[in-house]
Amino acid sequence: MSVLIIYGTKTGTSEKCAKYLADKLGCAVTLVNARDGIKIDLAPYDTVIIGASVRMGHIASSVSKFMEDEEEALLKKRIALFMCCGFTDKENINRQLELNFPPALRNHAVAIKCFGGELHTDSSNKLEKFVAKMAFRADGDIDLTPELDYKAMDELADIIKSYSLQEAR
């Protein structure tokens, strides 16, 4: 199994999740921090995991663009999606997933998981903290101390590993 994990991150949480997943998968994994204009050759990979954090309702535009540009190629791969966010209620999590990940990729994905989030007070400036509070207050369940959901990360890794085991048989 050859896996690409491409992620969009602002303060490092999604990167931390991507690295945790890579460790759990225990196979050849290429980690890529999505940047604007990034072009990746998907040919070497049978599995692509795409993840990003949500800020003000949106994931990084570089990740959205990657999904848009590569949709056709991604539909020929095994894919999984993850999202890091501050909301903890299903309604807001699903709303943000639906808004940010194209339906074709969501339907095709073998797993879609929310990994929770972290609020980095030291690296988010005061204005951002204020804005984050406003974002949460405006829309639903407030969790100003979000936590990462390692169980969800383990579940996603196990799903991917189960496919590679099936192939090995």
Ligand X SMILES: Cc1cc2nc3c(=O)[nH]c(=O)nc-3n(C[C@H](O)[C@H](O)[C@H](O)COP(=O)(O)O)c2cc1C
Give contact residues for ligand X (rule: CB under 6 A). 9-14, 53-57, 84-87, 96, 117-119, 124, 128, 131-132, 135
Could you tell me the smallest distance in angstroms from the CB atom of residue 78 to ligand X? 23
Could you tell me the smallest distance in angstroms from the CB atom of residue 127 to ligand X? 8
Could you tell me the smallest distance in angstroms from the CB atom of residue 124 to ligand X? 4
What residue number has its CB nearest to ligand X? 117
Identify residue 8 by its one-letter amino acid code: G
By beta-carbon proximity to ligand X, the closer residue of 124 and 164 is: 124
By beta-carbon proximity to ligand X, the closer residue of 28 and 99 is: 99
By beta-carbon proximity to ligand X, the closer residue of 24 and 77 is: 24
Q: Is residue 126 left, alpha or beta, with left meaning phi > 0 and alpha meaning psi from -120 to 50? A: alpha
Distance separating alpha carbons of residues 166 and 168, to the nearest angstrom: 5
Residue 116 CB coordination number (10 Å): 23
Could you tell me the smallest distance in angstroms from the CB atom of residue 115 to ligand X? 8
By beta-carbon proximity to ligand X, the closer residue of 1 and 18 is: 18
Q: Is residue 26 left, alpha or beta, with left meaning phi > 0 and alpha meaning psi from -120 to 50? A: left
Could you tell me the smallest distance in angstroms from the CB atom of residue 23 to ligand X? 17
Distance separating alpha carbons of residues 61 and 58, to the nearest angstrom: 8
By beta-carbon proximity to ligand X, the closer residue of 65 and 108 is: 65
Angle between helices 150-168 and 13-25 (to 10 degrees): 40
Distance separating alpha carbons of residues 49 and 159, to the nearest angstrom: 12
